[in-house]
Amino acid sequence: MPEAFKNLINARTVALAARHLHRAWPDFDAGRFEQLAGSGLAGLEMKARAMQIASALQDCLPGRFEQAAQVVEAALAPPGEPETEGLTGWVIWSLGEWVARCVAAQPGELHRGLQCLHALTQRFSAEFAIRPLLRDHPAEVWPVIGHWAEDPIPAVRRLASEGSRPRLPWGLRLQALVRDPSPAFPVLLLLQDDPDDAVRRSVANHLNDIGKDHPALLAGWLADHLPDAPAPRRQLLRHASRTLIKAGDPRVLSAWGLGERFRGEVSLAITPDSVSVGGEISLQVTLQSTARTAQALVVDYAVQHVGARGERAPKVFKGWNLELAAGETRTLVKRHSLRPITTRRYHPGWHPVSLRVNGLSVAEGGFELRLAG
């Protein structure tokens, strides 16, 4: 089996951090730090490991933030160098959390804390740490984020977008931006044509977040920025549209030329019609065009999962993007796994399946799900 993701933060992470911090500040009590940071580490999940190391940093670094920040910055690895050369990698999550806690306790250190995050994000990412600062001090932090969006270092530009996402996975949800995402628009506008692919991916995910709560805003962004867009921006905007395309939002589908109902015949076959949890089904879709011109199609399918109390909730899965020529018949096949995953538990019962073409339901089917054994 593959190594558990949580083990990316481990005893070696702690030992290397102790070594580098002691090198930068000989009074650093490396033994105490390793004891505090490493106690019971193997039994903790990933975020809990990062938080425990942050608590150990609070206990062992100098109490005066300016001195402590200088120690941390002196212990950092040169950007791009491995963790044997200084602080870098997953320990940066803990260091960012330490900065956020220090600023929460000493708000007067906000700008020094932002300087420290600028250095940390070049070694991993400070996308989690910036969020409580942005929540608590928006008037002071937004101008800094604006400057970061023009920074010559791609990792810093990425932080400007990623750190201000309304719904960053694993991160603090920024409810003010969920309600009104417009403060981020100047940053996104500046970065959507960034030369760095990682920066553009962050912008795409940020816009996708916005679309979940404000579909009309994303549709408006597409109307303003999709026409005559260069290829990298088109790719970015398509990725930003993924949730609303799967949801069949007519404005977003129309922006991509996918708003028309399919002209033709559709069949859906699902085999087997009864399957155990842990197995898989096969979906066979046949599209027969009756149109006189080619059709751009997004073909997805929704499975009505059965809940613990027998209720059903739909989950849309990505199928195919294609262009079907005039009069063409095409058969598509996809395997759908029913193995349990951490974000989904399966329950027995009839699971209806709806095939969607350009956001509209065009065929129905289903399968009976049984408990294994």
Fold (topology level) of 5-255:
Leucine-rich Repeat Variant (1.25.10)
pLDDT confidence band for 262 (50 / 70 / 90): very high
Question: pLDDT: is 309 or 164 the higher one?
Answer: 164
Q: What is the pTM of this model?
A: 0.82
Q: pLDDT of 316-368, one tens digit each?
A: 999 999 999 999 999 999 999 999 887 788 999 999 999 999 888 999 999 99
Rounded to 10 degrees, the C-alpha dihedral 242/206/83/63 comes to -150
**Residue 52: Cβ within 10 Å count:** 20
* Residue range(s) occupied by CATH 1.25.10 in the chain: 5-255
pLDDT value of residue 1: 53
Q: Which residue has the tokens 């049984």?
A: 370
* Residue range(s) occupied by CATH 2.60.40.10 in the chain: 264-370
Least confident of 50-64, 117-131, 181-195, 306-320: 306-320
DSSP letters, 144-204, are: HHHHHTT-SSHHHHHHHHHTT-TT-TTSPP-HHHHH--GGGHHHHHHHTT-S-HHHHHHHH
Share of the chain above pLDDT 90, in %: 89
Cα–Cα distance between 159 and 141 in angstroms, integer? 13
Q: Between β-strands 312-324 and 329-337, what pairing exists: parallel, antiparallel or unpaired?
A: unpaired
pLDDT confidence band for 119 (50 / 70 / 90): very high
Q: pLDDT at residue 206 above 90? A: yes
- Cα dist. 275→168, 247, 339 in Å? 35, 27, 11
Q: What is the mean pLDDT of residues 5-13?
A: 94
Cα–Cα distance between 209 and 192 in angstroms, integer? 15
pLDDT value of residue 257: 85
CATH assignment of 264-370? 2.60.40.10
pLDDT confidence band for 2 (50 / 70 / 90): low
Cα–Cα distance between 154 and 203 in angstroms, integer? 13
Q: pLDDT of 102-113, one tens digit each?
A: 999 999 999 999
Q: pLDDT of 281-308, one tens digit each?
A: 999 999 999 999 999 999 999 999 999 8
Q: pLDDT at residue 170 above 80? A: yes
Q: pLDDT of 66-108, one tens digit each?
A: 999 999 999 999 999 999 999 999 999 999 999 999 999 999 9
pLDDT value of residue 4: 85
The token duo for 66 is 């300016």
